Amino acid sequence: MSLFKTKSWLECLQCHRKYDLDSVRYSCDCGGLLDLTRDLGKIDGKKLLKTWEKRWGMKSGVESSGVWRYRELILDAPDDKIITKQEGNTRLYPAGKAGEYAGLKNFLLKHEGENPSGSFKDRGMTCGITAANVYGAKCVACASTGNTSASMAAYAAKCGFRSIIFIPSGKIAYGKLAQALAYGGLTLQIDGNFDDAMTLVQEICEKLDIYLLNSINPFRIEGQKAICFEILQQLDWKVPDWFVIPGGNLGNSSALSKGLMELHELGIIKKIPRIAVIQASGANPLYKMWKFNTPFKAVKDPETIATAIKIGNPVSWEKSLRGIRWSNGVVEEVTEQEIMDAKAMVDAAGIGAEPASCCSVAGAKKLVDAGIISSDESVVGILTGNVLKDPDAVINYHMDNLKDKGIHGTFANRPISVKATLEAVKAVL
């Protein structure tokens, strides 16, 4: 008997070899990445849309999740195996000040930092950990720049799995490290960067039979697709002209385009929006490849204040590139200063997000300035993580303490020391 009820299979991006879902597998024997694939010809797009609309606003149950609401295109797992925290259901904000800053009249920000563990990772994680549960795994692992580990540890804690986390030593934001420890993940700070941790965790999972929950796992990508389903449902299925999204390990942008491709094939959307993937200039292998039309080459010592995307050898670059090409998209890079100034604007708009998230706004501004996005086009930017994930970055920017990194507190809002008297406060006001 098949473990999943599904008629899905895994298919290699390179050689198109197919594998059934009965055994655990993260890549093809040829080394290629795997897609979870289903026969969309057997799905009636119109009926599916009606089902999704009926589920909107459900108060409880599996389908009240902003991922499992779309379960037909996520994963056909039985209800009693699904591990969910009602993830998703995040807001889509008018960008306000951040929109003016970017030079856009119609700019919306999807705040994935409003997920249960404070980042978009929860969408992929509910699907990945559900797959682990179906396979009967009791121990899960990931390498992480912080958010994947926070999310994995939270879901593992919920269902009683052991979680093992590999993080680059001393290089992840405090909020994220705090979460990993708080949720009880066994946290291994390895002597190396994220790319080293990623190589190590793959070897360890294979040799020690631990279930790998990085986004090389195709089930993670399936859950992450729900971001675009939910945005489009919030927009009554009116497709924006652009999606702008940060790129690190490149799983999220891969999921965005895969979701859109499926909706398009099903006839649920007719227009193909353009996807802009934004990398930090110190961790920009996809940008370099795109800009100079060269073969993929990892960046050796990636460096950026946006530690979430400090990644030189992204696992999913081929999937991401496939989506960019399909959508007539672009890749852009942004400097440290551009990231932090855009962040100051996202924060000052009362929305708030961690540095990596704000690549969306910094990138949108750059593309508007370059005339690639026009100011009256409709744009949705993805904010991937919560403002509280990285308090150090916020304080240091506003105290103008980042000069050694070449970043100035352009829009700094410094705290002011004041005597505890009416006169002193009046003088300041």
Choices 12-20, 139-147, 155-163, 420-428; region in contact with ligand F0G by CB under 6 A: 139-147
d(CA 82, CA 151): 16
Choices 43-51, 141-149, 184-192, 409-417; region in contact with ligand F0G by CB under 6 A: 141-149
Of 144, 163, 202, 257, which lies in the binding site for ligand F0G, with binding defined by CB under 6 A? 144
Total of residues contacting ligand F0G (CB under 6 A): 23
Residue 128 binds ligand F0G (CB under 6 A): no
Residue number with CB closer to ligand F0G (55 or 319): 319
**Shortest approach of ligand F0G to residue 251 CB, angstroms?**
4
Residue 252 binds ligand F0G (CB under 6 A): yes
Choices 80-88, 227-235, 353-361, 420-428; region in contact with ligand F0G by CB under 6 A: 353-361
Of 36, 250, 379, 380, which lies in the binding site for ligand F0G, with binding defined by CB under 6 A? 250
Of 117, 126, 133, 147, which lies in the binding site for ligand F0G, with binding defined by CB under 6 A? 147
Residue 309 binds ligand F0G (CB under 6 A): yes
Residue number with CB closer to ligand F0G (133 or 254): 254
Residue 327 binds ligand F0G (CB under 6 A): no
Residue 283 binds ligand F0G (CB under 6 A): no
Residue 379 binds ligand F0G (CB under 6 A): no
Residue 385 binds ligand F0G (CB under 6 A): yes
- 244-263: buried (b, 16+ CB within 10 Å) or exposed (e) per residue? bbbbbbbbbbbbbbbbbbbb
Fill in the per-residue mask, 197 to 216: x = in contact with ligand F0G (CB under 6 A), - = not in contact: ------------------x-
Of 75, 102, 283, 308, which lies in the binding site for ligand F0G, with binding defined by CB under 6 A? 308
Residue number with CB closer to ligand F0G (300 or 403): 300
Q: Do 310 and 356 form a contact (C-beta atoms < 8 A)?
A: no
Of 257, 357, 360, 396, which lies in the binding site for ligand F0G, with binding defined by CB under 6 A? 357
- Where along the sequence are the contacts to ligand F0G (CB under 6 A)? 119, 121, 144-148, 215, 246-253, 308-309, 354, 356-357, 384-385
